[in-house]
């Protein structure tokens, strides 16, 4: 819910890829700081697309997502692939990210001070602050054509932006993550 209250009615949520969102053959281009790229939500698919953003290009933050065959032109803020902080306290599992081509990565210019470490300059990054466990994500065939300060920079923090810890204030972890190429 937009007011941060828990959603107790999940009858309108997708339950498989057959009723999940599909984003295909899209060109997403932004020019202003803070304008993000694509996130298709739970059971969503983003494929065969081009993303040029001044913040996070693709945001696989939900269970069972598929992100494949995407070309990214990353400008001066955010991560090309943001494994961020969104899943609240729902399961965050089994997302596949495959065949991503980062044809330009410029995020090293403005991101060294945020987050507090240099992970803001990485190709794959995120500050995870959800109460759920992010697990069984599979990333493969990630190609980067320009210089990058680092490949992967992931953090877990109870102070993450837009965090949603458990009622006890706990933050989940990342387990069984596979990054191959």
DSSP string, 7-25: P---TTS--STTTS-EEES
Residues 6+ apart with CB under 8 A from 139: 81, 97, 98, 124, 177, 178, 179, 180
Q: Where does the pLDDT of residue 139 fall: very low under 50, low under 70, confident under 90, or very high at 90 and above?
A: very high
Percent of the chain with pLDDT over 70: 78
Closest C-alpha to 137, from 53, 59, 75: 59
Q: How far apart, in whole angstroms, are the C-alpha atoms of residue 66 and residue 41?
A: 10
pLDDT at residue 72, rounded to an integer: 96
Q: Give me the mean pLDDT over the 119-136 stretch.
A: 78
Q: Which of 59-68, 69-78, 114-123, 166-175 has the lowest mean pLDDT?
A: 114-123
Q: Give me the mean pLDDT over the 14-18 stretch.
A: 81
* Three-state DSSP class for residue 175: strand
pLDDT at residue 46, rounded to an integer: 96
Closest C-alpha to 100, from 145, 136, 137: 145
pLDDT at residue 76, rounded to an integer: 82
pLDDT at residue 22, rounded to an integer: 93
Q: Where does the pLDDT of residue 84 fall: very low under 50, low under 70, confident under 90, or very high at 90 and above?
A: confident
Note the pTM of the prediction, 2 decimals.
Answer: 0.84
145 versus 71: which is more confidently predicted?
A: 71
- pLDDT one-digit tens code per residue, 36-49: 899 988 899 999 99
């Amino acid at each position: 819910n937009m007011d941060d209250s828990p959603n107790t009615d999940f009858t309108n949520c997708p339950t498989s890829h057959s009723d999940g969102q599909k984003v295909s053959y899209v060109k997403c281009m932004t020019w202003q700081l803070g304008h993000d790229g694509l996130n298709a939500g739970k059971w969503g698919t983003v494929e065969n697309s081009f993303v040029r953003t001044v913040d996070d290009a693709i945001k696989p933050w939900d269970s069972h997502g598929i992100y494949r065959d995407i070309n990214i032109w990353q400008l001066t803020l955010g991560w090309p692939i943001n494994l961020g902080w969104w899943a609240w306290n729902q399961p965050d599992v089994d997302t596949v990210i495959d065949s991503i081509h980062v044809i330009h990565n410029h995020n090293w210019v403005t991101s060294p001070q945020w987050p507090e470490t240099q992970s803001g300059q990485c190709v794959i990054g995120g500050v995870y602050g959800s109460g759920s466990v992010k697990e069984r994500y599979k990333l493969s065939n990630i190609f980067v054509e320009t210089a990058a300060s680092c490949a992967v920079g992931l953090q877990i923090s109870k102070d993450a932006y837009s965090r949603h810890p458990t009622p006890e204030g706990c933050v989940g972890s990342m387990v069984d993550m596979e990054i191959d190429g």
